[in-house]
Amino acid sequence: MSVKVERLSNQREELWSVCFGGRNIQFRDEQSAWDYAATLKERIEAPHALPEEVVAESAIEPD
């Protein structure tokens, strides 16, 4: 999944957006946006184990 940080143009204030999976989360400062993006990317790339029920179901062969 792609995670991007973008600066948003706004006449009143500078905003930053973290974009991922069709979602956008806005931040009022650049550092907060980059910190969030880094944490999100770490979590996405972390190893994930399948629940035992899913593994057991996938081992059953159809008739």
Residue 60 has pLDDT above 80, yes or no: no
Structural domain count, the chain:
1
One-letter amino acid of 2? S
Q: Give the Cα-Cα-Cα angle 17, 48, 38 (nearest 5 degrees).
A: 25
Q: Which domain holds residue 55?
A: 3-59
Q: What is the pLDDT of residue 35?
A: 99
pLDDT band at 50; cut points 50, 70, 90: confident
Q: What gap in Å lies between CA 27 and CA 45, rounded to an integer?
A: 23
Q: What is the pLDDT of residues 11-49, one digit of tens each?
A: 688 899 999 999 999 999 999 999 999 999 999 999 988
What does pTM read for this prediction? 0.73
For residues 41 and 50, is the Cβ–Cβ distance under 8 A? no
